[in-house]
């Protein structure tokens, strides 16, 4: 593949990942929102654990469903960076591989800082 095809392929892949993520997340969020309108009382859960989230999802708890939608939502841009990293590897662009890797690490740092802020313990 010449460099241009490679580039076109890169754009295509990123685009596909974005669309899937957004459509899924918005669909789940609309579903959760409809349940929210129907529900008489809603408990807004702050930072549920993954187990709580899944349990809530199974009993169609609107709050948990919306939480799940936001999780997919914020994972979408991360997948964008991962895709870019992989494609820079394929293009053998070491410099940009390390740059995108740095972005990924920084995002992970943001999650860790967030967890520390919330007083999360393992």
Q: Residue numbers of the site for another protein (CB under 8 A)?
A: 7-8, 10-12, 14-15, 18-19, 21-22, 25-26, 29-30, 32-33, 36-37, 39-42, 44-47, 62-63, 66-67, 69-70, 73-74, 76-78, 80-81, 84, 95-96, 99-100, 102-103, 106-107, 109-111, 113-115, 117-118, 120
Q: How far apart are CA 77 and CA 65, in angstroms?
A: 20
Determine the 3-state secondary structure of 105 from DSSP.
helix
Q: Of the two residues 39 and 55, which places its CB atom closer to another protein in the complex?
A: 39
Q: How far apart are CA 18 and CA 33, in angstroms?
A: 22
- Minimum CB separation of residue 94 from another protein in Å reads 11
Q: How far apart are CA 109 and CA 30, in angstroms?
A: 31
Q: How far apart are CA 53 and CA 63, in angstroms?
A: 9
- Minimum CB separation of residue 35 from another protein in Å reads 9
């Amino acid at each position: 593949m010449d460099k241009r095809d490679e580039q076109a392929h890169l754009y295509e892949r990123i685009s596909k990942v974005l669309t899937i993520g957004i459509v899924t997340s918005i669909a789940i969020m609309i579903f959760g929102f409809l349940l929210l309108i129907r529900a008489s009382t809603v408990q807004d859960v702050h930072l549920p654990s993954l187990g709580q989230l899944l349990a809530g999802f199974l009993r169609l708890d609107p709050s948990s469903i919306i939480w799940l939608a936001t999780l997919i939502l914020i994972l979408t841009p991360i997948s964008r960076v991962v895709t870019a990293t992989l494609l820079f590897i394929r293009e053998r662009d070491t410099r940009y591989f390390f740059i995108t890797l740095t972005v990924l690490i920084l995002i992970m740092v943001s999650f860790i800082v967030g967890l520390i802020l919330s007083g999360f313990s393992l």
